[in-house]
């Protein structure tokens, strides 16, 4: 059987594996009714020797007055296996992410990942790779661009413009918050771009990042909870 993932392949093997896996990505909706949404992010400690994977599971729908309910959260630490190489991020982050998912009691119906989905040179960013491995619908929400070109993004919250690469629309550049740099949304697996955008916007608080990714980001980088503004 073809491995969906190798622990520490050479860059050449990693690229070959990406080319083999990319055609397996499903770009249309195949989701179960969503009751839980997971957010995933990876952080590093001190000199980068230790990798920290964080997964946060939120109940859907949530109470808009208090934000989404955190059903479960897991942090997994392990030695870092690979350096960061543009385009090969998933091989560095996925092993830790999978270990964190293994500790989860809940099986989410939708996963948001900090990073690109198919908005990748070979259409297999970390969100797509993880979606294949987990066989779950995933969405990539990145804070910056890996590849592709786009027009200026309208200033209004919720507005977006297509991200294109080699004549293909690979994602969307979304104004998640007024006056802040936009986020890069792309489908990861088993979901369309339109539906991905819909979920990201629905999970938006007053911050740049949607709640699932924002909370996972905080956990992964060991920043404590932010004080909530008084009512």
Please report, in range form, the residues annotated as the binding site for Mg(2+). 41, 114
| Region 122-141 residues binding DNA, contact defined as CB under 7 A | 125-127, 140
> What is the bridge-based pairing of β-strands 168-174 and 110-114?
unpaired
- Given 95, 108, 115, 137, the residue binding DNA (CB under 7 A): 115
- Given 63, 79, 144, 156, the residue binding DNA (CB under 7 A): 144
Q: Is 42 among the residues that bind DNA (CB under 7 A)?
A: yes
Q: Is 86 among the residues that bind DNA (CB under 7 A)?
A: yes
Q: Is 87 among the residues that bind DNA (CB under 7 A)?
A: yes
Q: Is 80 among the residues that bind DNA (CB under 7 A)?
A: no
Which tokens is 13 given?
């093997």
Per the DSSP assignment, residues forming a β-bridge with 146 are none
Cβ neighbours, 10 Å, residue 200: 24
Q: Is 43 among the residues that bind DNA (CB under 7 A)?
A: yes
* Residue 68 · residue 60 · CB < 8 Å: yes
> In this chain, which stretch among 2-10, 27-35, 42-50, 161-169 interacts with DNA, using CB under 7 A?
42-50
Least separation in angstroms between CB 144 and DNA: 4
Burial 83-115 (b: 16+ CB within 10 A, else e): eeeebbbbbbbbbbbebbbeebeeebbbbbbbb
* Residue 205 · residue 214 · CB < 8 Å: yes
Least separation in angstroms between CB 192 and DNA: 19
Q: Is 143 among the residues that bind DNA (CB under 7 A)?
A: yes
Which tokens is 68 given?
């989404």
Binding mask 208-227 for DNA (x = CB under 7 A): ---------x--xx------
Helix axes 89-102, 126-134, angle to 10 degrees: 40
Residues that bind DNA (CB under 7 A): 41-46, 48, 52, 84, 86-90, 93, 114-116, 120, 125-127, 140, 142-147, 217, 220-221
């Amino acid at each position: 059987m073809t491995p969906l993932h190798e622990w520490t392949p050479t860059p050449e093997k990693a690229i070959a594996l990406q080319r083999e896996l990319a055609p397996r990505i499903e770009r249309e909706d195949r989701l179960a009714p969503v009751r839980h949404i997971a957010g995933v992010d990876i952080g590093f400690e001190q000199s980068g020797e230790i990798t920290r994977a964080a997964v946060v599971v939120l109940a859907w729908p949530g109470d808009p007055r208090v934000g989404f309910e955190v059903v479960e959260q897991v942090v997994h630490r392990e030695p870092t296996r690979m350096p960061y190489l543009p385009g090969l991020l998933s091989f560095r982050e996925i092993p830790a992410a999978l270990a964190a998912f293994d500790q989860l009691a809940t099986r989410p119906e939708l996963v948001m990942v900090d990073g690109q989905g198919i908005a990748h040179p070979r259409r297999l960013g970390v969100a797509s790779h993880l979606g294949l491995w987990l066989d779950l619908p995933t969405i990539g929400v990145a804070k910056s661009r890996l590849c592709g070109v786009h027009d200026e993004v309208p200033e209004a919250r919720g507005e977006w413009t297509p991200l294109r690469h080699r004549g293909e629309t690979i994602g969307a550049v979304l104004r998640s918050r007024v006056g802040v740099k936009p986020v890069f949304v792309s489908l990861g697996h088993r979901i369309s771009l339109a539906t991905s955008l819909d979920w990201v916007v629905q999970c938006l608080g007053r911050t740049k990042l949607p709640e699932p990714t924002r909370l996972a980001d905080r956990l992964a980088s060991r920043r404590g909870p932010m004080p909530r503004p008084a009512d």
